[in-house]
Amino acid sequence: MTEYEVAHRPDDAVAEETNVRAFMRDHGISDYEELIERTTTEIPGEPDSGPEWFWDEVVDWLGIEFDDPYDAVRDDTEGPQFTDWYPGGQLNLAHNLVDRHAAAGKATRNKVATLWEGEDGEVRRVTYHDLARESNRVANALESFDVSVGDRVGIYMPMVPEIVSILYGCFKAGAVAVPIFSGFGVDATATRLKDPDCSVLFTADSFYRRGSEIALKQSADKAMAQAGCVDHAVVYNRLGGETPMTEGRDVAWAETVGEAAPDYETKSLPADHESMLLYSSGTTGEPKGIVHTHAGVQVQCAKEIHFGFDQKPGDRFFWVSDIGWMMGPWTLVGNHTFAGTVFIYEGAPDHPGPDRFFEMIDHHGITQFGVSPTAVRALMRHGDVTEGHDLSSLRLLGSTGEPWDEESWHWFYEHVGAGECPIINISGGTEICGCFLMPMPDQPLKPTSLGGPGLGMDIDIVNTRGESVAEAGDQGYLVARDSCPSMTKSLWAGDDRYLDEYWSTFEELWNHGDWAQKDEDGFWFLHGRADDALNVAGRKVGPAEVEGALTAHDAVNQAAAVGVPDDTTGTAIATFVVLERGYEPADDLSENLRAAVGDELGKPFRPRDVRFVPDLPRTQSGKVVRRVIASVHSGESLGDLSSIENPEVIDAVREAS
């Protein structure tokens, strides 16, 4: 692992004003190490310690309201795999996220909950009062369709303000929301409708993407026909074009939600009642329906936004995501718990120019901005796209989804954050609707690091025998030694797959599937997915390590490493490289890059191939899809490509292979 020096040291005065420091002062905690120990471990003689103390204390600290108090913090008699959090308690996410903020006489009633900008430049502001009324209308519309508590409702929508009221309306009525990525094609959408048997679908006529109108309803029609379970489809009119409507099933938003009563009594639900099914992206196989609860999502997302992203009353929070990815609901739940303002953008990051994000940050006074490393690397290719934009409103930067490389981390830190904003680099996943690893904003940071475990998260690094290797500095598997409130209660497909996916590798340990490492200064790093490991002549290396060695070269902007069959070593490494501006593909450059990987990782890991491509296939959330690259290179079937945002680059990868 490359040894990094500390690159960010927070100003002492700023650090003292953070929410996490306030919590530490109030509980007599002196430093980060003690903070993690107190929130994850029962310390003899210290009553204010351990997971049950923390997950109880944080409910009051964050101001989360239960309708009926819980009998215990948790019941883990069936083991960490099936921990029941806050048993006996009753609550509803929608009460905490909108109802209480919109109550008559509250100062937050007319505060902006959602600030939206369309790709065409249209801007809308939705207050908490507006959001409450429209969420109530959604709940009433659902009940008019005979939706009962526990029924599943699909959300296949563009990023318009209505997604928030749909999500919260589902919560209010006790329906289980199933957000679906708006970029998915027919097969992927149909799978996510059919698997949970969605009886209602919210969709739209179309939306803008890079200046073009993307017809969403046609895809929705084909998906509904394939799924065969949707009885009612509510169609929101985004662009006003001619929209095909199926009589007896399809109804216009204006004629249903628009005409429903604006009053509704939010249902009080058991703490473990299902709130959402969040499906994995499907880029690595059959998508998994991940089951989340009202209490779990509420506590985890609020904790992370409050402590990790230091949420303050005047903040405007922007995380680049679709409602169909975990970060969409995470952003909404975490910020709206505190009556915060969430910024939502409809369109592409580079339309009409590559500075679109920074134009919006400047115009709207965004304070927290989260984006994937891949998106940052793509923006870097255009030069200094931040020039001419005032980004001084930013307090914190965020990232997730994949490992960083040092060059792009520094670019983000220096050009976007002016060398002052910490990069809160987080990692967890859809399975916990939150983060295992998350630095605190009052901590020093090393480039590409994730800081350390999040508050209340009992995380470790183990070898193949399940033995801890974190303190030894060895690379190993990222695991959880305990559950947390937001950990999926199972998979929709059943307990067998849930146990096999996460609990079968090690005894009583959740295997998250990432390679992790802790350096001698206590900073944690990730090296990609363990199941993507490249086994070259019996030696394993993560693709992210190979890619990091390539992107460290001045000529390389992005890289992807995949394993290919080799008669001698069993597996060889093939790499695909996107060059920086001013560099051209050449044989000598290819050899230089092969040598650079060998110098960094050892000669056995020198790539057999270095191929030059204009771009890499990725999802809208910025993840490079290595599975597709490997399949193209080997001539195998590509499988489902519906999650790929830029499928046109697949031909370029094929030509280079």
Give pLDDT tens digits for 539-572: 667 788 788 889 989 999 999 998 888 777 778 8
Band (284; pLDDT cuts 50, 70, 90): very low
Least confident interval from 17-21, 374-378, 467-471: 374-378
Given this model, what pLDDT does residue 620 score?
Answer: 65
Band (640; pLDDT cuts 50, 70, 90): low
Q: Who's near 475: CB < 8 A, 6+ residues apart?
A: 1, 461, 469, 515, 516, 517, 527
Burial of residue 87 (CB within 10 Å: 0-12, 13-18, 19+) is: middle
Q: Convert the pLDDT of each residue in 593-612 to its tens digit.
A: 999 988 877 777 899 989 99
What ranges make up the beta strands (E) of 500-613? 510-518, 524-529, 534-536, 539-541, 556-566, 570-579, 609-612
The whole-chain average pLDDT of the chain stands at 93
Band (578; pLDDT cuts 50, 70, 90): very high
Helices (H) and strands (E) in the chain, counts: 20, 31
Instruction: Give CA separation, 140 vs 17, 148, 175, 266, in Å.
Output: 43, 11, 12, 10
Least confident interval from 318-327, 442-451, 532-541, 545-554: 532-541
Token readout for 316 is 């405007």
Question: Rounded distance, CA 469 to CA 480, Å?
Answer: 14
Instruction: Give CA separation, 137 vs 114, 125, 153, 258, 263, in Å.
Output: 17, 18, 15, 7, 7
**Residue predicted with more confidence, 361 or 183:** 361
Question: Rounded distance, CA 58 to CA 484, Å?
Answer: 13
Confidence check: pLDDT of 216 > 80? yes
Burial of residue 254 (CB within 10 Å: 0-12, 13-18, 19+) is: exposed
Q: Convert the pLDDT of each residue in 171-204 to its tens digit.
A: 999 999 999 988 888 888 999 999 999 999 999 9
Across 134-152, average pLDDT: 98
Inter-residue contact 537 to 569 (CB < 8 Å): yes
Helix H or strand E encompassing 551: helix 543-551
> What domains can be seen in the chain, in order of their start residue?
533-656 (3.30.300.30)
